[in-house]
Structure 1
Amino acid sequence: MQYGIDIETYKRETKQKQRVNLGETPIVLIGMLLGGLLISRVILHLNTGDATGIAPFGLAYLLAVMEKRETKTSIIVAFGILLGYFSIANSISDGYANIIVITLLVAYGFIIDKTNKTLKQPYMYIIIAVSYFFYGYIVSGYDLGVNIVIAIISTLIVIPVNYVIGYGTKCIQELKTNYFFTPEEIISMGLLVCLIVAGIGDINIIGISVKEIFAYSIILFVAYIGGGTYGAAMGVAMGISVGMSYGGGVLDTIAFYGVAGLISGIFKDTGKIFSFLAYLIIFFAISLYSRNLDIESLMEVFLAGGLFFILPKSFSEFIKLEIGPDKKREKVNELELNELKIQFTDRAKDLEEVLLSVSKTLQNIGDNERLMYKNKSTALIETLADRVCIKCKDKDKCWGHEFNTTYKAFEKLIGSYENNTIIFPNGLEKICLHKFDLIKGTQRIVDNLNDKESVRGRLGEGRRLIASNVESISMSIGEMLNDFNRKIELCQDLERMVRRGFNKRNIAYKSIFCYRDTNGRVKIKVTLESCGGSNYCIKNILPIINNLMQEHMSVGGDGCKINPQNNECIVIFQETPKLQLVSYGAIAAKDGEDYTGDTYSFGKTKDGSYMTLISDGMGSGPEAGKESKATVELVERFIQAGFSKNTAINTINSIMSMKFEEDEKFSTLDLNIVDLYSGEATFVKIGAVASFIKRGKKIKPIISNMPPFGLVDSVEIEEVKSMVKNGDLIINLSDGVLDINKESLGRYNWLEEYLVNASKDPKQLAGDILDRAKELSGGRVKDDMTVVVSKIYSVY
Structure 2
Amino acid sequence: MERVEQNVMEPVGNVNLEETKLEVTRRFKRFLFKLELALQQKGMMLFLIGFLLGRALILSHLTPFALPFFASVFMIRRDRAPIVFIGLLSGALTLSIGNLVYTFAVISLFLIAFRLSRQFRKEELNALPFFVFFTTITVKLAFTYVNQQQTLSLYDGLMALIEAGLTFILTLIFMQSIPLLSIHKRKTSLKTEEIVSLIILLASILTGTIGWRLYGLSVEHIFSRYLVLLFAYVAGATVGSTVGVVTGLIFSLANVSSFYQMSLLAFGGLLGGLLKEGKKFGAAAGMLVATLLIGMYGEENVSLIPTLYETLAAIMLLFLTPRNLTERVAKHIPGTPEHSHHQQQYLKKIRDVTANRVEQFSSVFQALSKSFAQSGRLHEETSEERELDYFLGNVTEKTCQTCFKKEQCWTKNFHKTYELMREATLDLEEGTLSGSVAREMEKHCVRAKRVQEVIQQELAHLQANQKLKQQVQESRKLVADQLLGVSKVMDDFAKEIQKERENHHNQEEQIHEALQSFGLEVEKIDIYSLQKGNVDIDMVFPYAGGHGECEKLVAPMLSDILGETILVQNEEYTGFPGGYCYATFRSAKAFVVETGVAFAAKGGGLVSGDCYSTIDLGVGKYAVAISDGMGNGVRAHHESNETLNLLQKILQSGIDEKVAIKSINSVLSLRTTDEIFSTLDLSIIDLQNATAKFLKIGSSPSFIKRGSKIIKIEAGNLPMGILREVDVDIVSEQLKAGDLLIMMSDGVFEGAKHVENHDLWMKRKIGEIETNDPQEVADLIMEKVIRAGGGGIEDDMTVVVTKIEHNMPKWAAIPVTKLKKKKNAS
Bigger relative CO (Cα 8 Å, ≥ 6 apart): 2
